[in-house]
Structure 1
Amino acid sequence: MPHPPQIKIPATYMRGGTSKGVFFKLDDLPEPAQVPGEARDKLLLRVIGSPDPYGKQTDGMGGATSSTSKTVILSKSDRQDHDVDYLFGQVSIDEPFVDWSGNCGNLSAAVGAFAVTNGLVDPARIPENGVCAVHVWQQNIAKTIVNHVPITNGQVQETGDSELDGVTFPAAEVPVEFVSPIDPGEAVFPSGNLIDTLEVPDIGTFEVTMINAGIPTVFLNAKDLGYDGTELQPAINDDAAALARFETIRAHAAVRMGLIRDVAEAAARQHTPKVAICAEPKGYTASSGKAIEASDIDLNVRALSMGKLHHAMMGTAAVAIASAAAIRGTLVSRAAGGAGRETLTFGHPSGTLKVGATASEQNGTWRIEKVVMSRSARVLMEGWVRVPGDTL
């Protein structure tokens, strides 16, 4: 019986921050996949190589980690004062689903460069030399992101000397602004409290800070789980019992945050919320072998993504860290010394990251005006991806 041939789809493979993924223009997708639904999910799963019971994504573009199992769909924006609409899909490695519930902060840094190169930004707004501020509408969370894309001779400048812990080679710096990551009408803290008590059956009762900035995130004290905040990936990812414990905590936090109604629903919502542990500054050796001194950082943070400890830090979780640190009385600000901080540097498994946030309190309600961090981005490959013709 003959099988249908493969189809090819224009695509770009890009690194953004400490993640990489496959980028598409919406109108380049096969027509059934240009709208949300089963056809789109099936296509992206096949492109990435999921679900893969071997956990390797050998038959696709994925890299078998949460940081490299990602897809992006972009289109010219009709929204006022925005250049491009950005939709992010986190592809599960071993299960047949794509999680659309949140953003990828790292890949956000690559959106502006892609938009400029692929004609999604008005040419009149692109300087011959300088910086192009690309205004991005993040569709998953309905928020504005601004990429400050360096331009040289009318083209995106990708090479440079900006170093980013978690990325081997330097590149051009791309400052990224997350504008009003929480709308004035939204609650920064879903419970209304800076610190809550979370009861997790058969595991324990924990102090937590639950915050919605960047991506829904629950922070715990590292010491309450037997850690000191300097852990690298093997210390947690090689411990099946620890991973199960974190997932149970995450599921109960999701219910408390109002993201799901029952803990059983958490299995189909792996991307959000994130769960992170924080601790006071302490020196350690990063995964690259780089020595991080306690004096280099304001606190240590370790965060899990898609059920595993992240090798560095998710960009959206960094937004949550910066936001929580800016508000005195959260577990994050407490670990960083107790004061609200507009800028701070935190340690993660690959090294350090500096972030900044502007927060204010009005009538007892907290607002986050802006979070800023510097990332970098680079095209790795461009052309077409191919998938079997019977994928859709």
Structure 2
Amino acid sequence: MSFAPQIKVAATYMRGGTSKGVFFKLSDLPTDAQQPGPARDALLLRVIGSPDAYGKHTDGMGGATSSTSKTVILSKSQQPDHDVDYLFGQVAIDKAFVDWSGNCGNLTAAVGAFAINSGLVDHDRLPQDGIAKVRIWQANIEKTIVAHVPMSNGGVQETGDFVLDGVTFPAAEVQVDFMDPADAKSALFPTGNLVDQLEVPGVGSFNATFITAGIPTIFLNADELGYNGCELQEAINGDPKALERFETIRAYGGVQMGLLKSPDEAATRQHTPKVAFVAPAADYVSSSGKEVHAQDIDLNVRALSMGKLHHAMMGTAAVAIATAAVIPGTLVNLAAGGGEREFVTFGHPSGTLKVGAEATQADEQWNVTKVSMSRSARVLMDGFVYVPPEQI
């Protein structure tokens, strides 16, 4: 019996922030995958190596974690005053499912570089040396992001001395500005409250801040969950009952936020909402062995992604943290000591991160105009991915 040869698709494997993903130009995809639908999802699943019952992604480009099972599709922007349209697909590991419901803030740091290298940014907008401002339309959430990409001798500069906790080696700094990052289809605080009571049958009742900036997120107090906010991955991910409890909380929180019609729907929407828990600043030792001192941070935050505690912090969740931190009265703001502020430095399992936000209040409604943070990015491999045609 004969089998058709593999098809090859031009792709670039990139790190952005603390994530990795496979980047494509829309025009390089097979014709039937250039439109949203089953053909596109099937291709991306097979590229990553999902679904994988072994949970290893041995036969694909994925890394079997929420941070490394990611795909990006870019095209020249169809929006006025934008350079590139950015579509993000979070690929499930053990299910045949691609979640298009949210953005990846970490990979956003790599979008500008890929867009420049792929000819998607007009040449007259690129300095020979200096900083290129790449105007990104984030298609999943219909928001503008500006990536400040360093340039040297007419090309993207990837090397540098900027150190990002959660990334082993230094690289060039890329500032990312998330403009008006609240969900376009929902209020910044979807319930209208800075703090709500979240009732979770069989689990408990918790104070919660629901927010949609960056990515829909449910913030909880660590002590109400029985934690101190200094936990590393194994403390959560090695506890199946804890993971089940967090997923139940996420499901009921998603209903209260208006994202889900019923808790059961959470199983088909793994990417959003996120769950995070906060605690006042405290000393701890990060996953790399680095000592984090309470005096150097404002608070500790731990967040879950795709059912597991994240090894650092999702970029989109960092947007939510920054936004909530500068609005007095949210759980994030209170954990940081309360009051007005323009930025916050928080501890996460891999170290620390500083993020800033601009928020205003009018007619008792809060609005966030911009969130900024620094990340880094670089190309890991460039060429083609190969996919067996009969499996897509």
TM-score (norm 2): 0.99
CA RMSD between the two structures: 0.8
Show the 5 A alignment for 1:1-392. 1-182=1-182, 186-392=186-392
* Equivalent position amino acid for 2:157 in 1: Q
- Report deviation, 1:259: 0.5
CA distance in structure 2 between the partners assigned to 1:183 and 1:59 by the alignment: 36
Q: Is there any run of 5+ residues in structure 1 with no aligned partner, and where?
A: none
Q: Runs of 5+ in structure 2 lacking a partner?
A: none
Q: Matched residues in 2 for 1:271 and 1:328: separation?
A: 28
TM-score w.r.t. the length of structure 1 is 0.99
Q: Report the residue type matching 2:309 in the other structure.
A: L
**Match of 1:24, SS?**
strand
Shift in Å at residue 391 of structure 1? 2.9
Give 2:152's aligned amino acid: T
User: Does the 8 Å contact 2:102/2:141 carry over to 1?
Assistant: yes
**Alignment length, in residue pairs?**
392
The alpha-carbon distance between structure 1 residues 146 and 291, as it changes in their structure 2 partners (threshold 3 A), is same
Letter in 1 for 2:227: Y
User: In 1, distance between residues paired with 2:161 and 2:74?
Assistant: 28
SS in 1 for 2:67: helix
Structure 2 CA distance for aligned equivalents of residues 188 and 11 of structure 1: 36
One-letter code aligned to 2:194: L
User: How many Å apart are 1:183 and its aligned residue?
Assistant: 6.5
Residue deviations 1:99-157, cap 9 Å, x none? 00000000000000000011000000101101100000000000000000000000000
Distance 1:341 1:271 in 2: 29
**In the alignment, is the contact (CA less than 8 A) between 1:184 and 1:367 conserved in 2?**
no
Aligned mates of 1:88, 1:183 — CA distance in 2:
16
Contact 2:141–2:184 at 8 Å: present in 1 too? Answer: no
1:303 is aligned with what amino acid? Answer: A
Is the CA contact (8 Å cut-off) linking 1:101 and 1:271 kept in structure 2?
yes
Distance 1:102 1:370 in 2: 18
Percent identity between the two aligned chains: 70
What is the alpha-carbon distance in structure 1 between the residues aligned to residue 72 and residue 172 of structure 2?
Answer: 21
Q: CA deviation at 1:217?
A: 0.0
Q: Which amino acid aligns with 1:76?
A: K
Determine the C-alpha separation between the residues in 2 that align with 1:183 and 1:12: 29
